[in-house]
Amino acid sequence: MKVVLFCGGLGMRLRDYSDKIPKPMVEIGYRPILWHVMKYYAAYGHTDFILCLGYKADYIKDYFVNYDEYISNDFVLQRGDMKLLNTDINEWNITFCDTGISTCIGERLRRVKEHLQGEEMFLANYSDNVTDFPLPTLVDAVRDSDCVAGFVGVKPPHSFHVVDVDEDHHVRGIRETKHSDLWVNGGYFVLKQEIFDYMNPGEELVIEPFARLIEENRLLAMQYQGFWQNMDTFKDRTLLHEMHTEGNAPWQIWNPS
């Protein structure tokens, strides 16, 4: 199946990085998080990618056009000639599509519809989170159901302080909501071609289109309590980088245990 990756956002909560590079190109170790997400899908045999570009699209294009396989693969160098012992992206097919700077996710998806013709089902991702979720379980669940779309539901890694405010703007209470109390959209989607029948121009994917699916009982969420981590902040990036450096990176399912 083809994999649609949304790579065009501004990443405002990662301004230390996003002022210079697009958020999906912020590195974990020596490769960007986008690469980690693509490696996850490739590990399940999904190597046909559509990148929905926007902010600093040239940076992402340049990265893959000038990709250096030797950085993350073993090789033999003999008399100046390099022989790679394995590769990362040699078998990948990547389509680069400019979908606008401030375009919402739903509209980005609509703008690459032509590249999804003939696909009964396809995958999609926000490109800013990693997991070790067993992807085939969601694919099979959506395929075997009457649902048009499905996504992974996860528990956020952080708690929140919920503020109760009255009509006069006085705070009436502050309470901590722990991740055990709620589930959120984890950003890993399986979509059938019918999803485009539920979308109108300019709509956000998980708001109006998903609301229509909910009305028809055609939206599926698979709850997962295993590893999932997004990269919204500098703290998130530091955590993921440290996990990678320490050899404790459960999302790297392509690495032999």
Name, of 47-51, 53-57, 87-91, 155-159, the range with top average pLDDT.
Answer: 47-51
User: Which pLDDT belongs to residue 14?
Assistant: 56
More confident residue, 181 or 118: 118
pLDDT band at 165 (very low <50, low <70, confident <90, very high): confident
User: Which pLDDT belongs to residue 10?
Assistant: 67
Break the chain into its structural domains and give their ranges: 2-141+185-196+225-245
pLDDT band at 200 (very low <50, low <70, confident <90, very high): very high
The dihedral formed by the CA atoms of 37, 137, 43 and 3, expressed in degrees to the nearest 10: -50
Q: Long-range contacts made by residues 23-28, C-beta under 8 angstroms, separation at least 24?
A: 23/127, 23/128, 23/231, 24/60, 24/127, 24/128, 25/56, 25/59, 25/60, 25/63, 26/231, 26/237, 27/241, 28/130, 28/231, 28/237, 28/240, 28/241, 28/244, 28/249
Q: What is the pLDDT of residues 15-65, one digit of tens each?
A: 555 567 888 999 999 899 999 999 999 999 999 999 999 989 999 999 999
Q: What is the pLDDT of residues 119-137, one digit of tens each?
A: 999 999 999 999 999 999 9
User: Which pLDDT belongs to residue 90?
Assistant: 83
pLDDT at 66 over 60: yes
Q: What percentage of residues in the chain have a pLDDT greater than 70?
A: 93
- Does the domain formed by 2-141+185-196+225-245 have CATH 3.90.550.10? yes
